[in-house]
Structure 1
Amino acid sequence: MKKPVTIKEIAKKLDLSFSTVSRALHAHPSISLATQQRVKQMAVEMGYEPNQTAIFFQKGKTFTIGVILPELAEAFFAVAMSAIEDIAYKRNYTILLAQSHDDEEREKLLVEKLKTHRIDGLLVSVAKNTSNFEHFEQLKKSRIPTVFFDRIPPLKNIHYVACNIENGSVEAVNFLLKRGHRNIGLINGPTSLMASGQRKEGYIKALQKNRLKFDPSLVVNCDLTEEGTISALETLLNHKRKPTAIVTFNDYVSAFAVKHSLHKGVKVNEDIEFVSFANAPITDYMAFPPLASVEQFPAIQGQKAIDTLLDLIANKDGEEEQAFYKTVIEAELIERTKGS
């Protein structure tokens, strides 16, 4: 394998000093344009390629951003990732993408590995099972700017971009109340997720605004798996106040719940109506999609998250005391029209 051409070799060929050739390659004003042109021409002829590691070390940046997602297979994260990559590409940044697969230990390991790659910053949507967030606190000590999006950890001094899930939950419940439902269940996500708390708060707020009593036993948490959803649904189906409508954590949970309801002989959209979150493409292929789903705008979340991170990277050497970016995007309930 041929060794890469060095600046010393170019300097020897042109009978110039190492520093002159180095400055000429970087278009330093102290070097005449004629010399710059001569050096660059020789560099091309000899097949010289700049040592990117050395350049990055000089600039104090690697122009690399880490992204940790729970599951790229989910449409929400795939859309968000596309938006992140588009902006990174335009700003000459490379993305190092990793998936936690909703595993806390794997997430911790990924944070450590990305740190060793000298990333300039990190974007994270936390795993549903993460309960200890010390690994993110460590990033502050390493001065690696971090922006969370969609799944936000319950920490105070962080930068984040999120959707207004609470208002989306209010809209979802109001939609069902207008359809005449009074016994409304909620299949929620893990209690470790802030988004689960926000869904519950919106659910309670909507009921109370309509002078309905909140029954905590109609809210069942699950781990977002099919098995977990089935268990939560069974709890609601066996409830003394069997719900006539159910709000689900997301469209995947809705799909699991609908599938099991049909298996149990429940007439979906007659005995029970479903409303969900995410407005994912999966609903277009469901025989019984949720009647409405809360749009959480993954592309906008992704764009705003990386824009925020790039601002933080640019101002990394600025003032020690800085405000924390807290961007909230309004959710929107999307009702499905018949035949759509």
Structure 2
Amino acid sequence: MKSNEPAPVAPRNKVTIHDIAEKLNITASTVSRALNDNPRISDVTKKAVLKAAKQLNYQPNNIAAALRNGKSYIIGIIIPTADRSFFASVVRGIEEIANKLNYKVIISQSYDNYDKEVQTVDALLSARVDGIIASIGKNTENFDHFKRPQEKGIPLVLFDRTTDDLEVSQVMIDDYLGAYKVVEHLIQQGCRRIAHFTSPKKVSIFKERLRGYLDALRDHEIPFDESLVIKSNLQLEDGRESMKQLLKLEQRPDAVFSASDYGAMGAMQVAKEQGLKVPQDIALAGFGNEPFTSFSDPALTTVDQFSLTMGRITAELFFENFKQSGDNKLVPQKTVLKPELIIRGSSLKGTGPKK
């Protein structure tokens, strides 16, 4: 080693309850009981242990505690992405309930990547979480990894993006009803060539929104035109490309219903760039009630999914399942929330009722 190079620093060992016990000249079991607020330990000893733990920067070993007690008081949450208002709000609702019961959460993002989702489930199980709450990624078609928590007797609850391939409790919005309401509203505004942006993936929410679109057309005796349904990942750029494709048709649509607000906003950008007036030339509607929808010009008609409420109900259902997890007769529950159509300027052609 060169003389001017610093000597390697030996890794510092993690502080344990034995270090605290040695510092205070008491037993490790007394330290453990004090840290767990055992009533058999005096307040003087508890204060001394907590003070020493802080001085030594003691960090409890949650995995070891989970092995001893059978509980880690940690819930794993898997969401596709944290940068969407919807998922952030759901997580907030879950945390509100969990924190009241002295539970903490670990939040992981799958980024709609199947392999990452599988790895996350395994990582959470290795961390000895008491249960998992998840929203399935768009690209997930094999659900075997979600069967592993069940096999270990660990509760699993799905929200929003769910599947009937798993016998687990689920919380979702009535995507079918929300889509039906949007299309019916557009029809009431005089629209007859209504396009739909959907996803090619097998995620239940998009299937249900497509079904609501189709049934609304059928019930109002409007012929279905396959060229008006465009599949994509429903991001902003996808909405732009889908709108460009629609505007090349010989007979353009007079309305677009996107299964996501992002797709609808992309469509609005292109419509304006092409000199079209919204909603006079083309009405637009999305789904999700993302915050930006109320600030666009015109503001975007959309569907509110009551994300905060969904989070709270999901957590309540999880803890109900957790209490019953030792019972082999546990019956999965499905909670379906009723959506609200929020009508704004992007769809109001003024030729029909507003609601």
Q: Distance in 2 between matches of 1:75 and 1:18?
A: 46
Q: Which runs of 4+ in 1 moved over 6 A?
A: 17-29
Change in Cα spacing, 1:281 to 1:52, as seen in structure 2 (3 Å) is same
Which position in structure 2 is the counterpart of 1:88? 98
- TM normalised by structure 1 equals 0.86
Out of 171, 188, 195, the residue aligned to residue 198 of structure 2 is: 188
Q: CA, structure 1 residues 336+4, in 2 after alignment: closer, same or farther (shift >3 Å)?
A: same
Aligned letter for 1:112? D
**Distance (whole Å) between structure 2 residues aligned to residue 216 and residue 295 of structure 1:** 27
- Are the structure 2 counterparts of residues 6 and 126 from structure 1 closer, same or farther at C-alpha, using a change threshold of 3 Å? same
| Aligned-pair CA distance for 1:328 | 0.2
2:47 maps to 1:44: yes
Q: 1:41 to 1:282 in 2, by over 3 A?
A: same
Q: Is the 8 A contact 1:129 1:190 kept in 2?
A: no
Q: CA RMSD in A?
A: 2.8
Matched, 1:303 2:312: yes
Match of 1:73 among 74, 78, 83: 83
1:320 Cα deviation after fit: 0.7
Q: Aligned letter for 2:47?
A: V
Does residue 175 of structure 1 match 2:185? Answer: yes
Relative to structure 1, the CA distance from residue 260 to residue 154 in structure 2 (aligned partners, 3 Å threshold; closer, same or farther) is farther
1:220 to 222, 230, 241: 230
Displacement, 1:217? Answer: 2.6
Number of residue pairs the alignment of both structures matches: 327
The question of whether the paired residues in 2 share the 8 Å contact of 1:64 and 1:120 is answered with yes
Is the counterpart of residue 105 in structure 1 residue 130 in structure 2?
Answer: no
2:244 maps to 234
Aligned to 1:63: 73
Conserved in 2, the CA contact under 8 Å of 1:187 and 1:233? no
- 1:183–1:87 CA distance, 2 compared to 1 (3 A): same
Among residues 124, 127, 130, which one is paired with 2:137 in the alignment? 127
Query: Is 1:294 paired with 2:303?
Result: yes
- Say whether the 8 Å CA contact 2:158–2:171 is kept in structure 1: yes
Q: 1:320 is matched with which residue: 328, 331, 349? A: 328
Gaps of 5+ in 2: 1-11, 347-355
Q: How far has the Cα of 1:22 moved from its partner?
A: 7.0
Q: What's the offset of the Cα at 1:240?
A: 3.9
2:339 maps to which residue? Answer: 331
Q: Deviations 1:70-110 (Å, cap 9, x if unpaired)?
A: 11111111111111122221111111011111211211111
- Does the 8 Å contact 2:321/2:330 carry over to 1? no
Deviation at 1:41?
Answer: 2.0
Q: Sequence identity, in percent?
A: 29
Q: How is 1:202-281 mapped onto 2 (pairs within 5 angstroms)? A: 202-281=212-291
Counterpart-to-counterpart distance in 1, 2:258 and 2:34 = 63
